[in-house]
């Protein structure tokens, strides 16, 4: 097995790197990385339903869709990401307990008792510290997970919706559970870099034959191309998700208006707004627009609909 510690904190690049290792290499890999603030959603999720766009959009926190299923997680410099990319045996490829067992053992070596709960979580004293997801490609499997060390719990709560009844979809919905950081439970490990070093050292001592690995310049360029062609694209992050219906209300000049959008591939296919004649007419012109704040904001301004930049987020 090769071990790769990513120097990059770019979530687009790091997600693309995992996909590259899954598709283009045949060896087994352990990958450790720390990302800049970002919200990572599952492949089959509705982005706006999972993410508090009112917070992430102004804050400039990117929302990125991964190739694996499962729910939404928050990344920042206080969260350690781990991934196993391995050759696998047919019929035994999806196995969350198998891939999280070494992580549980690592935490136990630090005096932390973590348990596997639900479909894909690790918890300590009933609080979630790790979310995990998997993706199978032919004879290979990608298992990746998070470990909350000293992540901003407040930003996480702001960025991820607690749930929304305004959306109707067959898309996968996240299981919201209370979370906690590991860092406060440790006395001698105070930084995420120390935590990563300890985890790598544990795996080197318990898994035989681990060899350090780094990408060649040519591989790095291919990963950058993949990051640009998939992970940085709106069509993947927002447009790929399943169809959904959004029903909500917003205010124009103190008057409440109701709206209903049918969205496919991130595009508004049907739009009904009630409350005033002008807003209703403008709503019809939203058909064909992306269901994104900047698109609705631009059209409303063009149609002289006096909705503030903040009020636009009521349509998400």
Give residue limits of the domains in the chain.
Answer: 2-237, 244-315
Q: What is the pLDDT of residue 13?
A: 98
Homologous superfamily (CATH) for 2-237: Bira Bifunctional Protein; Domain 2 (3.30.930.10)
Whether residue 94 is predicted with pLDDT greater than 90 in this model: the reply is no
Instruction: Please state which of the ranges 7-16, 165-174, 189-198 shows the lowest mean pLDDT.
Output: 165-174
Counting residues of the chain whose pLDDT is more than 70, the rounded percentage is 99
Average pLDDT estimate for 303-311: 92
Mean pLDDT value across the chain: 95
Q: What is the pLDDT of residue 172?
A: 79
Q: What is the pLDDT of residue 292?
A: 98
Average pLDDT estimate for 14-27: 97
pTM: 0.94
pLDDT digits (tens, 9 = 90+) for 119-144: 899 999 999 999 999 999 999 999 99
Give me the DSSP letters along the chain.
-EEEE-----HHHHHHHHHHHHHH--S-EEEEE---SEEEE-TTS-HHHHB-HHHHHHHT--EEE-SS-S--EEE-TTEEEEEEEEE--TT----HHHHHHHHHHHHHHTT---EEETTTEEEETTEEEEEEEEEEETTEEEEEEEEESS--HHHHHHHB-S--TTEEESS-------B--SGGG-SS--SHHHHHHHHHHHHHHHSTT-EE----HHHHHHHHHHIIIIIT-HHHHTSSSPPEEEEEEEEETTEEEEEEEEEETTEEEEEEEESSHHHHHHHHHTTTSBSSHHHHHHHHHHTT----TTGGGGG-
Q: What is the pLDDT of residue 119?
A: 87
Q: What is the pLDDT of residue 41?
A: 98
Answer yes or no: same fold for 2-237 and 244-315: no
Average pLDDT estimate for 288-302: 97
Average pLDDT estimate for 226-237: 98
Let me know if domain 244-315 sits in CATH 3.30.390.50. yes
Whether residue 176 is predicted with pLDDT greater than 90 in this model: the reply is no
Whether residue 164 is predicted with pLDDT greater than 90 in this model: the reply is no
Q: What is the pLDDT of residue 65?
A: 98
pLDDT digits (tens, 9 = 90+) for 37-86: 999 999 999 999 999 999 999 999 999 999 999 999 999 999 999 999 99
Whether residue 155 is predicted with pLDDT greater than 90 in this model: the reply is yes
Whether residue 110 is predicted with pLDDT greater than 80 in this model: the reply is yes
253 falls in which pLDDT band (50, 70, 90)? confident
């Amino acid at each position: 097995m090769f071990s790769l510690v990513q120097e990059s904190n770019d979530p687009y690049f790091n997600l693309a790197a995992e996909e590259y290792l899954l598709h283009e290499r045949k060896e087994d890999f352990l990958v450790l990385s720390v990302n800049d603030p970002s919200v990572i959603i599952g492949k089959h999720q509705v982005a706006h339903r999972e993410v508090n766009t009112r917070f992430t959009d102004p804050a400039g926190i990117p929302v990125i869709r991964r190739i694996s299923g499962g729910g939404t997680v928050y990344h920042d410099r206080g969260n350690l990401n781990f991934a196993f990319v391995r050759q696998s045996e047919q019929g035994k490829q999806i196995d969350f307990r198998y891939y999280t067992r070494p992580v549980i053992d690592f935490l136990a070596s630090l005096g932390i008792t973590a348990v596997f709960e639900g479909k894909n979580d690790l918890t300590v004293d009933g609080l979630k510290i790790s979310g995990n997801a998997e993706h199978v490609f032919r004879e290979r499997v990608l298992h990746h997970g998070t470990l909350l060390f000293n992540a901003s719990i407040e930003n996480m709560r702001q960025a991820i919706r607690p749930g929304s009844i305004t959306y109707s979809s067959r898309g996968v919905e996240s299981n919201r559970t209370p979370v906690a950081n590991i860092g406060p439970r440790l006395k001698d490990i105070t930084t995420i870099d120390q935590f990563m070093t300890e985890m790598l050292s544990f795996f080197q001592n318990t898994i035989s034959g681990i060899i350090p690995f780094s990408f060649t310049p040519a591989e790095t360029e291919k990963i950058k191309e993949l990051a640009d062609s998939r992970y940085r694209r709106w069509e993947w992050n927002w447009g790929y998700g399943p169809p959904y219906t959004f029903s909500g209300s917003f205010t124009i000049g103190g008057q409440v208006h109701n709206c209903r959008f049918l969205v496919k591939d991130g595009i508004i296919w049907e739009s009904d707004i009630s409350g005033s004649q002008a807003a209703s007419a403008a709503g019809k012109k939203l058909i064909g627009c992306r269901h994104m704040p900047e698109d609705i904001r631009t059209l409303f301004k063009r149609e002289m609909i006096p909705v503030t930049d903040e009020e636009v987020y009521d349509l998400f």
